[in-house]
Chain A
Amino acid sequence: MSFLEVVRPGVQSTVQDSGRRGYRHHGLAAGGALDLISYTWANKLLDNPRNAACLEIVLGGFRAIAHGALQVALTGARTRVTVNRQTVDLWQTLNLNDGDELTIDHSTHHRLVYLAVVGGLDAPEQFGSRSVVVREKLEGRSPVQAGDRLMPLQPKRKVPERKVPDHQRPNLDGEAVIRLIPGYQYPQFQRADIIRLTTSRYTVGDQSDRMGFRLQGAPLSSPPPGIISEGIALGAVQIPGDGQPIVLLNDCQTIGGYPKPGVVPAVDCGLLAQQLPGASVRFELCDLATAQNQRRLFELHYQHTRWCRSGQELEWL
C-alpha cells in the first residue's frame, strides 16, 4: 500500500474537499478548500473527482516521506518544493518513489499550497465531506500531525505527466484586486463610505484565518448599525463598528449580525485567502451575473475538458 508519511506538518495542514453541503442549519460551517482555483487544479492534474480531498498546507514548512510509489500534484503559493533536495515545480504531476522525501519550504509570498494524491485523500468522511473545520473541535477532526499517513484512494492509478498551462494558473503576484458584488444592504451605507471602501488600499491583518480575513485601512466612518442576525454567504463582507471590513471565508459561523455592503465571489475569496498579513488588497465592484457566469464557466471547464496527449493543454470534450 503506497502512502505519504507526514514528518513535519508545518503551521497547519488540514484535509479539505469542496466542503459540506446541507448542514448549515445545524450550525455547522461549510468548510472546504479556501483557494478554489488551486485546489481544483490539483485534482484536475490527477483526473480526480471534482470533490476529492486534498491537503491544504498553510505557510509551508511541510515534510513527508513516500512509502511505495505514489503520484501526487502540488498547486498554490509560489514556494520552493523539493524531492530528495532537488527543486521541483508546482502545478504539475509528480511521481514519487519509495523513500522519496518531499519538502515544502516556508512560503514567503503567499499562504496556501494544495497537495493532491491519486484518487483523492482517503480521510474519514463526516457530514458528507472530508473537510476538517478545526474551530468546531469535533471528535477526530484535527489538523494533520507528524506520523500521520496520507492514504490515496486509488494508489495504483497513474496518469501521464501533466502541467497546468501558464495562462490557466491564477496570477497571485501584484496587488490583489478582490471583486465585490453589492448586496441588499449596500444602499444603507453612506455614499462616502462606499467610495472609501472601493477606492482605498487595505492591508491584510494578522488575525486572518479560515474563518475570515480582517482588512485594515481607511475605516468606514459611519457603517449602519447591526442588523438582525441572518445567514452568511461565503465571501460576505462584514463591517463591524470599527469600520474595518472582514471578509468571511469557509469556516465562518453560519449566521451573523453585522451589516454587509456585499459579497466577494468564491474565486476571489481564494485570491484573498492566499495573501499574507501586510499584503495590499483593493475592492472593485462587480455584478452578480458576471461573477456567476465566471464561476459556471470554471466548473464546466472541470467537467467538460480533458488533457491533451502532450499533457500541456486541455481540450473541450
Chain B
Amino acid sequence: MIEAVSEDTILITLAEAIDESLPARIAGLADNIRSAGSPWLVDIVPSYTTLMVVYDPLKIDFRQAVSELRPLVTLENTCKRAPDVKGRLVELPVYYSTETGPDLQWLASECGLACEDIIRKHSAVEYRVHALGFAPGFAFMGQVDPTIAAPRKTSPRKRVPAGSVGIANRQTAVYPQTSPGGWQLIGRCPTPLFDQNSLSLLRVGDRVRFKAISREAFLAEGGELTP
C-alpha cells in the first residue's frame, strides 16, 4: 500500500504485522528507491513494516511521486525476495553485570531464571535491526527469547548511561547516548553506536549478535562504569 500522508511525505506499507523477513525486504526496497537516483528524493525512513519517503514537493507532486514509487513496490511485492540479502553481521560486545545492568537481577527473578541464563539467552540469538529512532543511532532489534522478555519500566529512568543494553518486550537495544529511558537494563556495550562523522553504526536490515565480555575487556575497549 502506498499512501501520501502529507505535502512532502509518502508512506509505503509492506505488511500488517512484524515478521523477521521484513527488515531485509524493507532495507532492499530502500536501496532500490535510493539507487533509482530520483532528484526529488529527500529522506527514507524505514521502520518495522513501513518505509516513509520524504520528497521535495517543488520537484514533484504527490500523484507523480506515488506513481514513480509504485513500480518499485510492486516489483518488490511480486518477487518477495526471501532475504537473500543476508544483511551485514555486526558483533557487539556486552559486559553483562549487575554493576552495568541495574535490572539484571530483577529480570532474572521476574523470569524465574538465574542471571547467567538471562545473559546466555540474550547473547544466543541473532537479532535483526527493525527500525531506528528515538535518538540518533538507537536501533530497535528483535526478537528477544520470549522467556526473558519484560515490559518497559512503568516510570522511565531520568538517566540511562550511554552503551546501556536494554530489553523492552521482545525488543532489545543499546542506548547510543546518555538519555532518559524505560527499558530494562542488563549490561553495557563499549562500542560507540553513533558517531558524528560515521553516523549510526547500525542500519535497518543488519544482523546483530551480542557477545558477553569480562569487566576487564569492557574497560580495555573503552567502556565506562559511571552509573
Contact = CB atoms under 8 A, between A and B. Distances in A.
Interface stretch (B77-85, B87-95, B131-139): B131-139
B131 A292 contact: no
A133 B105 CA distance: 36
B50 A230 contact: yes
B196 interface: yes
Contacts of B30: 25
A136 B136 contact: yes
B58 A254 contact: no
A295 B139 CA distance: 33
Interface residues of A, number: 41
Interface stretch (B5-13, B146-154, B184-192, B212-220): B5-13
A153 interface: no
Interface of A: 21-28, 30, 126, 136-139, 181, 183-184, 228-236, 253-256, 263, 265-266, 288-289, 291-292, 295-296, 299-300
Contacts of A22: 42-43
Contacts of B5: 181, 183-184, 233, 236, 263
B62 A231 contact: no
Contacts of A139: 196
Contact of A25 (B50, B138, B203): B203
Contacts of A289: 62
Nearest to B132: A27
Contacts of A235: 6
A232 to B, nearest CB: 8
Contacts of B24: none
B160 interface: no
B4 A25 contact: no
Nearest to B41: A22
Given A231-B51, A231-B52, A253-B133, A27 B138 contact: yes
A24 B8 CA distance: 14
B46 interface: yes
A253 B132 contact: no
Given A230-B50, A296-B57, A138 B7 contact: no
